[in-house]
Each structure stands twice: as structure tokens, then as C-alpha cells.
Structure 1
Amino acid sequence: MLTSHSSLTADHSGGGIVSPRHLGRSTRDALARPLLLLGGENLKDGVASALRRSGWKLLRPRTLNEARLLCDQHDILAGLAFLPEPLTDSELAEVRRIVMALPDLEWVGVLDRETVVAHPGAGRFIVRHLRDYHAQPVDPIRLGLAVGHAWGLAALRRAHKQSTSNINGSRFGLVGTSPAMREIYAMIERYAETDLPVLITGETGTGKELVARAIHEHSRRAAKPFVALNCAAIPASLAQSELFGAAKGAFTGASTANEGLIRTAQGGTLLLDEIGEMALEAQASLLRFLEDKTVTPVGGRQGIAVDVNVIASTNRDLHEEARRGNFRQDLLYRLDMLSIKMPPLRDRISDIEALAEHFLEAAGDSLPHRLHGFTQDAFDWLRAQDWPGNLRELRNCVIQAGLHCTHGQITAKDLSRLRPTSSAPRQSREDAVDATEKTTVEKLLKSNGGNVSKTARDLKVSRMTLYRLMAKHTIARP
């Protein structure tokens, strides 16, 4: 069984089993397919030799970290998990933990037939986490066929994932090939070559920050910082110091100098998210910065030159806000030199299947067991919705369905339990979106022991976005 503390060592206990430091010494080893082994210390020499003759290179890591290292270094697609006999609850939990930590592998289990009957969790583990299982005593030929089948399915799954990424996943880390998204990709490519301000507009949850990051990552500034500021999360009284910094002693509590977010982004890109929420006083200072590219910290006397590109995003109609006096017209002209309007999900229905598969794949580590995609009726159901919360709502729905799904694929029934039908009143749907979002955040925070950083990674959002969601739904750390 793997442990969490042992170091990399060679395993000479089974014939034909080699350690990572002995790999690649022969042409035969180089051509063999690597197979990860959990347990099986007493694997008979004849079985190991038979697997080697069938073209397998057997790797037995002693720690989970070593297993991950092997997967990074070698093209490992399948694993062989030997469950001890008798099997205890703690041993089964450890095997399950390791298998779930390596979701890209297809697994075959080896265990005693009586264990399947006697241990209530063994059968559930096989159904939820293994591609196949082999009952003791080991038949090398049958075991080789089972492992080969698992390898082949993993290879097909990876090829499908790559083709989905190339064909449906599109470009710049974004997903979709609808006409609307192809226009977005073309604009990202053009705008990344300039240093002009970009204004990204669109409904909540349409992926505005993702597009901003894509522009940065494909620009000449990619190696420099990308700094995002949520203007709605900063009180008006602090907006000036957050943006432009503050000199030591500039105000009560300013015991040290603060360089501000604009200077933090030196050489890179500053994203002003929800720019429509920025206080008018801060808007005036931002306009001065855009005109001369210098910042003067609060309490400071001398301007400091800063080289950053500014991207702003909003779900508001800034032209209407300017007409009402809530947004400076001159600042709008400065920000709106290049613009991108993100399409709502209802205008890119052809992308929903690829998006749903992407969200399910990304959530794999946070789900209680591995799922193998969606049924066709699930895709039909997803396409029939209007998704007022856009990508964020779709992602939350997919994650919630994955958390509740007890079989191999997510069905329309799994999805419809979580969300009213499209004929429901608009407000009811939005309430349902909020409820789904809140429940998803609460469950992941709880499963991660209150770790905000890990929960943000599982949700594929920034820490700032997660904090904003926690504040929105009054969620406290567990």
C-alpha cells in the first residue's frame, strides 16, 4: 500500500518489477507500456513475467507523490490495484483516495471473490472507480486482457479529449466554436498585439475575466503580472489607495507605504473588473492615469511612471450609466477604444455540449467518484435551458449533478432535479441559480476543510471571486 512519507526506492520483491530509477535501460523497456501497480507485493514471478512478455513495464510507487511523478514522466494510462485480504475499511479508503487522485488513469482491481461479497464497500468501489476487476487467483492471460482493455479505453478517452479541445475547445483556453466565439477569438488575437485599453462587456457569468487573461497571456506582456481588481468589492473610501497606493502616514492606519495595484502590475496588465461600480472620484484619478501613465500615491507629492495596459469589464451599459451621470463620459471614451461584447450562453447553444464536458472534466478531483460524461438526453436538456446565469450557472449545475449522480453518466433526470424547467418564472430561475451556486460553494468549502485556495482552484475561479461569492451568499468558513 502507498504511504505519504516514504522516499523513492527500488522494489526488488517481484520479478520484472522495476523502480523509476531503473527505467529506460533497455530498448524493450523503452517500448513497453508502463503500468502503475498499487500493492501486489506478493505478485508471483510468473504473473509479472507474463505481463512483461505482453509488453508491460510494471511500476510500483511507494508514495502518492511518487505515483504522480511517474505519471508526469511516463505515458501511463492504466493502473492495477491489488486490494489486500482481508480488506479493512481504512485500507479500502486509502486505495480509493489514491485512485481518485489519479483520475486520468483507467483502473483494474485485483481482489478475492469473497471480499466482494463480505465487504459492503468493495462492490461499490468497483462500480464507481474501476474499469474492470479480476478475482483471485490471478490468471495472467485474463489479467493482461483486462489491463489492455483499460489502457485502450484510456487512450480513446484521451484522444477524444484532445480532439474536443482542438475542435470544440477552440482557442486561448476558452471553449466553443460557435460563430459568436470565433469572432471573440479573432478579436483576442488582434487586441493582444496592441497596448490600447480594452473594454469587455457582457452579462454576468459570460467569461469576461477569461477573455481578459487570454489577451494578456498572448500579448508581449505575458511574462509580467496580470492583476485583477474587483471594483465592486472595494469601498469608495479605499478605491484611491487600492489603485494608486498610499504614502506612509497618509491616513490613520497607514503605518507603511502601499504601492497600489497599478504599480503592482508594472509591465503587465491591470484588469478593472466591474468598472461600472467604481466611485466617481476614483474614475477621475483613473482618467488622469490613462492620459499620462503616472500615479501619485495618496499623501504623496511626486508622480511615478508606470507601464501597464488596462482592461476593464462590466455587465452594465456604461453609455446609459454615463447618460445618467453615474459614469464619466470622458473615461468611457478612453476605455472604449477597443471593445468586446461577450455573447450570452443562449446565443451559443452549439457550444453547450463541449462546455458541459469541460466543466465535468475540470471538476473531476472534487467529485466523490469518476463519471463518464453525459447521456444524450442530458445534452438535450442542457440545450433546452436559457441559462440566465450563463457559464457560471451551467458550471454550477454540472458540478451539482456530478455530486449527486450515483451512476456512471449524468442524465437529464440528474440535472432536472437541480433546476426548474425553462417554463418557470424568470425570478424563480434566478433564485434557483443562486441556490445552486451557494450549495456548490458550501459543499466544496466543507470538503476542503475551509481551505479557500483549494476551493477556488476546484471551482476554477480566483480567490477574490470566491470571497465575493461567500460574501454574496453570507457563507462562513466551516
Structure 2
Amino acid sequence: MSATQYTTKHAVDELVDSYQRVPMLVIATHPDRSRIGERAALIDLHNEGNDYLSRVKPEFAKNGNAGRALLDEFISRSPIIFQSEPDGRIKLRAHSTKTTVTVVGRGVQDEYVLHERELDNGVVIGLNHRIVLLLKLLPLHDSAVDDNDVLFGISSDIRAIRQRVEQLASMSLPVMIRGAAGVGKQQAAYAIHQASERRDKPFISVNLAAIHDAVAEAELFGSERDGNRQLGYFEQANGGTIVLEDIEDASVNVHRLLHTVLQSGSVVPVGTEDTQPINCRIMLTSHKDPGDIEENSTLSMLIEKLSAYQLFIPPLTERREDIGLLFDYFVREQWQKLYGNRAYDAKISGELMSQLMTFHWPGNVRQLRNVARQVVIDSRDQEQLHLDPQLLSMLRPTSVNGHWEEETHVQRRPNSVSRNELLETLESCRFELQATGKKLGISRASVYQLIQRFEGVRTAQDLSEEEIKQSYEKNRSDTEKMMWDLQVSQIGLRRRLKSLGYDI
């Protein structure tokens, strides 16, 4: 029986909640690089309290393929034993195996105790300095990987984002894409554009922070002087998509210009009296939490007007299961750029991958790509991928000695919130995201991410116009009743109703 079949059988027969997370092993690096990203669910550990890891067990799989064990000749057939404890901890016992087992940050031991908080974030396990695995609590689903996908990864977050991208591609409404610097907001915008009917039209990305007030109007809306006509960004994007990057970093003057023009739906190039209708899809990106933006400011009004839908991209440290795949992808990408058709056959060392997996990545995916480029440059004519020792020393683990419980200042990890807990908390907080986040011990942005991840959980922005119309008529415009009927925030619902022209 393949790993996929094995997992599905138990998921159907024994796991009541399909969103329930189970201990999962993910291959971060392996001598056979095609194995990177394969997963194996430790179902017996979840259901019976014990499971095993060796050369021949369990079977790892991705893309719906038949499962395979690690099958590395340097890994012992004698198993590493996983045992679950009543308090949610897991014991990793290596007494009876010849394989050198290391939980990164703790050194070589015969037995490790892994706390639930560590498992939420992901525990990095090295085997004989050759294979690196991530042990993490993850939901049961196949790990689909497509090298041609702009949004690359196997995590639940990336899976949910890809589904949202498909939905948004068929619509023309404005989209706000939120996330920290370097997470891939522009890539998400491009993915929406590429999946839409506008894919053959221009895709224009504008760094608003780089626009000076003196030339803002001309750069955004175009200009004409002495018979020379210069197209502005909105005209360049005609028929396609324009992305206004990091909207909060633009000047107040740029905010006012954008707000005025978007109110009218047209632009007037500087030096002319010609009115040009705006004919492009507008997307915004932001690296700020919604609660950090001053209410009733021009920026807040601009965001409200252009945030018909909000998409959140999580930081890389919340989806460590993607790091191995992303790094291998970026190395191959950079190798081809730098060395052309020269064969890429260098190996990823266990030491290098262990440090990549435990680093905190403040620059997120962008920083990982930059490190991959450095590795490729440093590794020419090397048998193993090599990184400059000074840079390697900078990739220090996030936690002290691998013990996440010592970081008392860190809030609860969003991955530890189940779908049922989220639903119950949303209801008790009248579906207000700020209050829900406070009660759960996570940020408001993290609540948005969880809503994206779980099917059947929505915000007012996710509602179709037909749903809103039916509820409005059924409840005779009573937004309190509509809130409970639609199970979304009353404040968000009122904003949505106003934007659709309803009398409230």
C-alpha cells in the first residue's frame, strides 16, 4: 500500500475532522534531490502512540505518486522510534539505531523530548548529516508541486492561496495583497494576472515609495509637453493589471492623487485636457497590519475603496515545509542563469539545509533566493553546495538550543489554531477579527490567514453580491440579523453594503 493510500484510508476511517493536523515528516534534503518535498504522515503515532522511521519506513510521497521509503544505504534499517505523550509532547528515541540522529540545535542524543509548540513550528531532524527532515503538525492532503507555478510550495498556506488566486482570476474587482517584506506579494499579483483573461495584456508594477511629489502626477497619469506624449503608469497598464506596491509607503500627496482619480474613474495627463478612462485591474500590496493604519485618513479611505478582497501571504517561518523545495528551486534557477546549460549536480549538504531550515528569515522568500544565488556563485566546481563561512554563520537558528518554549515573548503560533477553535472564537467575538485575534493570542493578520486556509470560513469581502442581496431582503436590512445569518463581521458587512450602494 502506498503512503498516499495509507494516509487516505486512515483519514477517512479514523480522523473525524479533515482539518485535524497529524505529525508529518517532510523531506527537506536528500541525496536524490527529486525526493525534496515528499511527505509521510505518522498516522500510527497519531492514533496508536507509536511510529517508526528507518531506511524502509515510512513511505514518502508527493504529487499523488506511489510512496517510497528513504532508501538511503547510509540510513539504518533499525528504526528511530516516535512515542506520543498525553500532554502532546513526542519522544524521539534513537537508542536502537545506528543512524546518527540530530535534532538541530541540541546536538547528538539518544532521546529527545519534543514539545507541542516546537511541533507547531516544525522540528528539524538530521540523519547521518545526509538527509534532513522536518517534523511538523500538518493537515492531511497531498503535497502537489509544480515547477511552473509562480506560487511554489507544498504548505497548506500556499495551497489555500493558489485556490484563492484561481477564484480571483475570474473577477475584475480590486485586490489588496498583504504580507511582510519579501513574502511574494508581487508574485501573487502576477499569478492572478496570469490566470485571468488579461494575461496577454500589460502587467505594470509601481514602486510608489520611489515616486517624488514633484513628478507624481506625470508618472502616474502621463504628460504632454512640446508635442511629446509620455504615458503614465495607468495608461501603460491599459487593458491589463496595475499593482501599486506598498501603498502605505507612498507620500500623502500620492495618496490624495490616487484617491481623487479613483473616485472619478479617469485620468487627465499633465499638460492636456484629455480625459482618459481607467481601463485596468488595480491591485495593492501592503506590509502593514490593517490595525496600524490611521482611521479616516486618505490612506485608509483609499485602501477601503480598493480592498474589495484581501489576500494574506504568510511569512516563510510559518511554512518551513516549503524551505527545502524553494531553496532547491532557486538554486536550479540561479545555476541556469549563471552557468547556462552546464549540468547542476552539486549536492545540498545536511549542515547547510539544517541552517536554512532553522533561520528566522526576516527577508522571507526574497532573502532565501538571494542566499541561493550566493550559494551558486560560491559552489562553482564544487561537489557540494558551498556557502561562504561568514554568511553561513549569520544563518543562526531562531531559537536557543532548539527549545521554542524558552521564547516566552513569542505569541501563540497561528498553526496551532484548529478550524473548530477559530469558528467558535469568531462567533464569540461577533466575527470581529481584532477581538478574535486577541482572544486566540495571535495577530489580526494571522486571523485573516487562517480564514483563507480553512474552507467555509469567510469575511464580508468573500460574500457574493447575490448572497448579500438575499440576506438583506430576508432580514429586512437589519445588519445585526444579517451578521448572524452570514457569519461575518457587522462592521465589515456594513462597509460592503455601503460599497454596493445599499441604504443602511
Q: Which has the higher helix share?
A: 1
Using CA pairs under 8 Å that are at least 6 residues apart, name the structure with larger relative contact order, 1 or 2. Answer: 2
Q: Which has the higher strand share?
A: 2
Greater Rg, structure 1 or structure 2? 1
